[in-house]
Amino acid sequence: MNFTVVLMEEQTSSASWCMTGLFKQYRVKNDGYNVEISDKGLTVISIGGSASSQERREFYEPTDLIGCVCMRAGPKEPRKHLAFFTVYAYPFAPLPKKKKRIRVCLSFVVESEDTYEKNLEIANEWRSAVYSAIRGKENARGNINRRKKLLIVINPNSGAGRALRIYKKQVAPVLGEAEVPHEVLITKAANHALNLVRSMDLDQYAGLVIVSGDGLLYEIYNGLLSRPDWDKAIEYPVGVIPGGSGNGLARSLAHYLDEPYLANPVLVSTLNLAYGYTSPMDLVLVHTPDAKRLSFLSIGLGLLSDIDIESERLRSFGESRFTLWAIARIANLRRYHAKLSFKRLHKTVANNNHRRHPFQRSQTVEEEPYLASTGESGHISRSHSIAKVEEDDFDMNASLVKVDPVKPEESPEVGFLFNGNSEYEQSEKLSKDITAQLQGGCCMPKLGESLPNDWETVEDDFIIIYAVYQSHIGTDVFIAPNATLNDGTIWLLIVHGHATKSSITRFLLAMDGSHINIPGVEMIPVEAFRVEPSGKSGYLTVDGEVIPWGPLQAQILPSKGKIITR
């Protein structure tokens, strides 16, 4: 084994390095592997077990690798002086047609020394080198504080009620492999998360992550908005794992990163947490007569909001509930009279249905349900950092036993935290402070006041008024094909009341980006808008949550949020 460091050209502050060694893989019969880890990635070359064997080379980019853990021999292994380092990676599968990410587990045997302690030192050197490769570009990007734990908030009733199982079976094992420390909180009622974050000490965690639908993140953001330190709090890192019937933000992130979300949504999203980088995200401040609200996804009135809310009775069907209820709504199409005003953003918009956001993308994406067999040599190693759950939910193969690189802390119990009242209240002083400090570049008058001359106003019957700031509002609803994570734009979708049922049917069937080319459909980039409905009742939604019917206005807060990505 040797270790070399070579400085690159003088115009860059980066350094190339390389570490090489000869190891056998645990329970693999051959003469061993030449293993090389460097800032470019991990190379594994099979030496072969016979003269007829061909050399096999495997290469994993740093963006394929997620973690490395050290292990010692378990009770069934007689050679007690051995140490092991196990590398976990999720590269693209070598399939020509279907893009997906697969799990790779490589357990290398360290046996060059005669004592376990000395072999463990070598294994830890390799573990450190693997993490150096994974985080080599960290200085060039924002990232969470890795010395702190994530707080993962789970709504056990979300979607079809599978969120807790998703965490146990798919999220926790991957975070254990990546050695991501975290605690778990299970919500017990509506606004539990909102009341928690409005008073908790945010400094004790690296970020907040939801395993739920978009509604739980809406709670968290509005809890952050109601804090005395709201101006800093709304920039707190957040992450999303899809566990509900509406997972628009998780789907949008995968789209921007060019990740194969549909193959395994949970895996793609969990890997964002494993890498722990942060990217700026636009938020929207929503003004209504009763409160100020913070939004990260959408504001809606009309058909799409009606489908979203009225289909709640079909929640057990998951996301297919939206399709089922859309059929019913088209048969009884509603029109809403409203005055719509907006401040247009003058920008060139290309109808590019495959546009991707320019922040760093994965080189290696592919996924499949995580619990696929990994063979004899692999096992799911449980990190001491994950919250306690039932032991039979994890594969605890006893042949290898994980060695913690530092003294483990006591594993936190899955807990229930309570703070504040169940009612969401905002003081008048806080509302005025928010309006004054988050005004931004747009001149935003109060509701009821006259609008500036550079605003446009349309009064008409509408079938749909829908404002979005992400590309997707659901797994299969590619609503804003030109949206990016922080483009400083509210994409205002309008369908006027004269549209026919056949046109609306075409619109709903073409929610793959081509719907914006249907006659009668407008997609306008704006930085602020106001809607004043004339009717007495209807559904007005923010991030899929119903708010009181009445006038509303909203303005973009460019890059005010911070989302955890790969």
At 525 the three-state DSSP class reads: strand
At residue 50, what is the residue type? Answer: S
* Cα-Cα end-to-end distance for the chain: 31
β-pair partners for 474:
477
How far apart CA 309 and CA 166 sit, in angstroms, is 24
Residues 543/194, Cβ–Cβ less than 8 Å: no
Of the CA atoms within 13 Å of residue 106, those in its CB half-sphere come to 30
Name which of 240, 243, 275, 235 is nearest 254 in CA terms.
240
* Phi (first) and psi of residue 323, to 5 degrees: -65, -45
Geometric angle at alpha carbon 522, from 516 and 524, rounded to 5°: 105
Name which of 228, 223, 235, 295 is nearest 434 in CA terms.
228
Name which of 184, 175, 186, 104 is nearest 146 in CA terms.
175
User: Among all residues, which ones are annotated catalytic?
Assistant: 214
Residue 394 burial (CB count, 10 A): 18
Tokens of 137: 């570009």
Q: Which of the 8 DSSP states describes residue 514?
A: G
For residue 495, CA distances in Å to 460, 472, 498, 522 come to: 10, 18, 8, 7
Q: Where are the beta strands (DSSP E) in 296-358?
A: 298-302, 336-344
Mind giving me the DSSP string for 110-176? E-SSSSHHHHHHHHHHHHHHHHHHHTTTGGGSEE--TTSEEEEEE-TTSTTT-HHHHIIIIIHHHHH
